[in-house]
Structure 1
């Protein structure tokens, strides 16, 4: 059984050399063997009514056989053995008028592109999948004519804008995909669907979901939504026909004992079932499932598990417990009672078993997703058994530290083969972690220090130094974080530090400061020193920065904060923090009315050693547009700035989150501050400096002139 996540940005990773037959089903797409993603009601076998995805469109299977698909003009056709070509799946979507200006193009509803409207009744009955992005009365009439017993309907985006559309009562297979949000507040439309057999909700993200709307459905397959506030959870325990429950990434399972009431259950997916940040973790009590005699598979990866069945379960075939922290003795007891079951409990053991099969290795540039084969280069290709064995020994991870997910695809990638068959494809990330792309790990693996050092050095010896450089930079950033933490610790009063170490929420952290630094002016001054304790990039949020900017400083009364900022000594850590707050966080209006103080702080900000901060100050001066701000912009255009020297130990900064401001100055980094100020004056249409501004613009390199012109266009 493979329940494939419908995250369709990186679907095709591997190509099958020949068509494989699975439970009597063989698939081809456009003449080539196809290994489709599917949703399987019963893990025992793929069967009629299960759902496969062809070019991202879900459709129901009929009986076993050879399925040859072709995609033409957005329609998916099945070519039967007798030569018949039948449209079996299509999309109903919307298209906006591309001829309209962008600011008007997306007003209102898109034009509906509806292939159903051109089909007769027989053609509608032949459909096995319809994906609907835009709903209308005409679409509703055509959906009524579908073979509801055998068709999969997927509703997306606009079709879920305010409420569940009026689907026919006889719908048996329904998939909802709301994209990144959820606008469907009225879900009462579910109540009419009392024949649903398969309901897929995991790609929906409602803030609230009342499971009472599903009451009474004869569901055999159910995947739960990502919901913060569920209600009527007791309904979930009433689905006595349910064969597959997918509750991955769900935070509301509790101890899971209620799952024992699903007496027909074959497969349970409860991986990554972590609580919300403000909730206490509740470990799954899977021992309660011992009585489910039909249960074949349990998947509880990266989920807290406190107990497991310790008695024989005759149907049990597979248990995935990677990174579950299940008690060792409980896993041992489960294995003893169920020797027929494959129990996955070690990421290292799983990967090692695959790598042991390899007799050829190919190391190439690039990652495991978003691949561009034309840009990939072979670093090493070898059949040397000793080399392969040596490399395989150094793909050892620290499992306690693993389970996260890097946002990149990795570089380079190690491909292991047994003959012509690929047995593992492993991407190397930043010299520190690996991703087993075609494996069963619940996340990335953090390499042991020894393995990381070995792979980095081995690659460097083979003339690929990127991981070595990334590892070096990572260590520098870690050292920068330690330096920053040390400076912050030295600024914090001991009582505050002690209280912060016990804080479990932002409210408790704020209380630590308020209780131990009761004077509000002294507290504001401390916040500014903390915010300005280094010459850091203002757009970089790391460590305590986020709490200072989003919680602590906003809690200071504005009049008090203004008074403290107006009184800061320049230069000082307080003034560095004040400049970051006023210009980096765009709170210029706080002191703008005091022209002398505003200008004094701006002049200090313009001495910052980091160009991005000086340009941020210029952008805020442009937005202010006051006579004093314009005067200062003119002065910078004519005389430039005099940045302070950056201390050597601050060259590298800690890792963190970068913010991007839409009104920032967009010019190449090598552009002088004089040109950045000139652009600001151009955007202000400053008549006094028009000739000087134009002279500077025309002297710039072509790349800078293009960025300049784009900035002028955006303003218009």
Structure 2
């Protein structure tokens, strides 16, 4: 009689009952191994997802070396990466696959006999070794991750320089995506910037500080939008019209009026968005070369014209 499929809860319970990852278990896996294959893509159902072999290691010293470089940090185990991995590492002995390990982003590994993933402790040495053996992509990806991380940190610092001081006070909660900090942040923001119009302009300029207006932006960029949603649209527009209407403010206002959430209700507020504001936003996005922004404002203009006809 076939075994019924387990529920996700049952699968998770079964995984949690497995032993944790250890370096001793990795050494055990490599005992007697005479060939290591690295295949493209990750591992699913204890099998490599691809038949494409990217690297073959048969020299005993190379096999020993990769086994050493797959050393894990035993204090960082038991977590679960959401993907299936970047590469599959097959361990062979006498033309038989003995073990298969998933390599995730060059930073962690997964084995089906463990209760979760394990962080690698020698990432840079591992990807350098693979590059020396002829597989350069993991090293290239590692270098790109470092660049992306550095760029992200720079963008974060620049964003915080634009944001009101209150955001720095609550930064740890923002980054951790805590659910109950927003009301306290708003209260502190009122104390920092008592005048509502100035507060709205500060929020618009903060929301406009981005390289990714419409998607793929870091979570913290949505916080000023969440606060702007607590104001009446007419008050936001009024604050803009009474400001110097600079491009920093225009970027934030354009992003807000064309955001996914606001577009769902925008037809209810078209009478509160003057055509001169739409003209300002159009000029702004055209000036900074934001093509998606130009298209979004074009759609806003059409909606406004239709509401007037």
Is the structural similarity TM-score above 0.5?
yes
- Residues 1:455 and 2:135 aligned together: no
How far off is 1:403 after superposition?
4.2
1:497–1:397 distance in 2 versus 1, CA, 3 Å: same
1:554 and 1:430 map into 2 onto residues whose CA distance is 37
CA displacement, residues 430-462 of structure 1 (integer Å, 9 cap, x when unaligned): 3323232x33241x33322xx221232233234
Higher gyration radius (CA)? 1
Structure 2 CA distance for partners of 1:388 and 1:487, relative to 1, 3 Å: same
Gaps of 5+ in 2: none
Q: Paired residue for 1:564?
A: 239
Write out aligned runs for 1:78-477 (5 A): 202-203=7-8, 248=12, 271=16, 299=17, 320=18, 344-369=19-44, 376-436=51-111, 438-442=112-116, 444-448=117-121, 451-477=122-148
How many residues get paired? 297
Question: In structure 1, the residue corresponding to 2:287 is in which secondary structure?
Answer: coil
Secondary structure at 1:517 match in 2: helix
1:512 to 2:185 alignment: yes
The corresponding residue for 1:626 is 305
Q: Output one character per residue of 1:607-648: Cα deviation in whole Å (capped at 9) or x when no partner.
A: 3444444444445445x262799xxxxxxxxxxxxxxxxxxx
- Equivalent pair of 1:432/1:452 in contact (CA under 8 Å): yes
Other-structure match for 2:159? 488
Report what 2:287 is aligned to. 607
Cα distance in 2 for residues equivalent to 1:360 and 1:511: 59
Query: Cα gap change, 1:497/1:358 in structure 2, threshold over 3 Å: closer, same or farther?
Result: same
Q: 1:516 to 1:595 in 2, by over 3 A?
A: closer
- Per-residue deviation at 1:372? 8.5
Counterpart of 1:582 (choices 236, 257, 281) is: 257
Instruction: Report what 1:24 is aligned to.
Output: none
> What's the secondary structure of 1:475's corresponding residue?
helix
Give the Å deviation of 1:568. Answer: 4.8
Rate the CA distance shift 1:608–1:394 in 2: closer, same or farther, 3 A. Answer: same
Partner of 2:278: 598
Structure 2: distance between partners of 1:544 and 1:352: 42
**Equivalent residue number for residue 479 of structure 1:** 150
Separation of aligned partners in 1, 2:151 and 2:184: 28
Q: Distance in 2 between matches of 1:350 and 1:611?
A: 53
Give structure 1 stretches of 5+ with no counterpart: 1-50, 59-174, 176-199, 204-224, 226-245, 250-268, 272-298, 300-319, 321-343, 630-716
Question: Which residue is equivalent to 2:198?
Answer: 522
Contact 1:562 1:591 in 2 (8 A): no
Instruction: Summarize the Cα distance change of 1:529–1:372 in structure 2 as closer, same or farther, 3 Å threshold.
Output: same
Q: CA deviation digits over 1:38-96, x for unaligned, max 9?
A: xxxxxxxxxxxxx744xxxx3xxxxxxxxxxxxxxxxxxxxxxxxxxxxxxxxxxxxxx
C-alpha deviation, 1:392, in angstroms: 0.4
SS in structure 2 of the partner of residue 386 of structure 1? helix
Structure-2 residue corresponding to 1:70: none
Q: Within 2, Cα distance between the matches of 1:566 and 1:52?
A: 70
Distance 2:155 2:43 in 1: 35
1:446 is paired with a residue whose SS is strand
Q: Tell me the SS of whatever aligns to 1:439.
A: coil
SS at match of 1:434: strand
Mapped pair 1:554 → 2:203: no
Structure 2 counterpart SS, 1:507: coil
SS at match of 2:219: coil
What do residues 204-243 of structure 1 show as CA deviations (whole Å, max 9, x unaligned)? xxxxxxxxxxxxxxxxxxxxx6xxxxxxxxxxxxxxxxxx
Q: What do the CA deviations read for 1:277-327 (whole angstroms, capped 9, x no partner)?
A: xxxxxxxxxxxxxxxxxxxxxx2xxxxxxxxxxxxxxxxxxxx5xxxxxxx
1:541-596 superposed Cα distances (whole Å, 9 cap, x missing partner):
313123333x3221123332222233454543222111111124454554664111
> Are the counterparts in 2 of residues 460 and 468 from structure 1 also a CA contact under 8 Å?
yes
Note the C-alpha offset of 1:347.
3.3
Name the residue aligned to 2:209. 533
CA distance in 1, matches of 2:162, 2:12: 43
How many Å separate the matches in 1 of 2:25 and 2:296?
Answer: 50
CA distance in 2, matches of 1:419, 1:610: 59
Q: Which residue does 1:14 correspond to in 2?
A: none
Aligned residues of 1:424 and 1:439 also touching (Cα < 8 A)? no
SS in 1 for 2:229: helix
Separation of aligned partners in 2, 1:376 and 1:613: 43
Cα distance in structure 1, aligned partners of 2:294 and 2:30? 52
When the two structures are superposed, what TM-score results if normalisation uses the length of structure 2?
Answer: 0.79
Deviates more, 1:580-589 or 1:382-391: 580-589
